A and B are shown apart, each in its own frame.
Chain A
């Protein structure tokens, strides 16, 4: 089974709808991240969480919110989706306090289309 899972894998929605993307991990990592990937722009950080009580904005947090329900779960919400939020979204995790603290492990991605 995959260590980092994302649901749904694909989603098509309409402008103005509220959407939630979910991420779960079995790696036991404290840190979790949400990125979006757009062609030619690489990955950009939306939000990150270093533990259940710690949530931080990334470089492009406007229009998004997150919830860290447990160590293993980190959800991304689009309160009112707009077409320029059409992108591939990735969740990632990293460990804390080990030599691999800065290595991130990615889920398979969610392809979101906003019409």
Chain B
């Protein structure tokens, strides 16, 4: 079956530091890949997505590239801000349109 493994946290960075959160997956077929973000006290919201190999999703300075050869979809941001502090979830969308989530990575950015 489908599964997602993402980097365990928590991750603590200083403002303007470079961020990478690793995500790898196993799946049959050709899934879509997502990063969702959950700010404190809120529900999840879509950060970015990629629907096929070599696609790059980007939003709010975050990027992730769908790498079929390494089954990965790592999240990166060149310069994090305090407002980026949140829990980040990698997710996989299969042919049945259900999402499989990773366990989440808590990011804390200090001023």
Contacts and interface: CB of A to CB of B under 8 A. Distances in A.
Given A42-B89, A90-B44, A108-B42, A103 B34 contact: yes
B42 A31 contact: no
Nearest to A45: B98
B81 interface: no
Contacts of B46: 103-105
A43 to B, nearest CB: 4
Interface residues of B, number: 18
A41 interface: yes
Interface string B20-51: 00000000000010101000001111100100
A102 interface: yes
B74 interface: no
- A interface secondary structure, majority: strand
Contact of A107 (B43, B101, B103, B104): B43
A41 B103 contact: yes
B64 to A, nearest CB: 15
A102 B43 contact: no
A87 to B, nearest CB: 14
B45 A43 contact: no
A101 interface: yes
Given A41-B103, A48-B98, A106 B34 contact: no
Given A45-B98, A102-B99, 4 more contacts: A33-B98, A58-B98, A103-B93, A107-B43
Report the 7 A-B pairs with minimum CB-CB distance, sorted nearest first: A102-B93, A106-B43, A42-B103, A42-B101, A106-B44, A43-B101, A108-B43
21 contacts: A31-B97, A40-B103, A42-B89, A42-B102, A42-B103, A43-B44, A43-B89, A43-B101, A44-B101, A45-B99, A58-B98, A90-B43, A90-B44, A92-B44, A102-B32, A103-B46, A104-B46, A106-B44, A106-B45, A108-B43, A109-B42
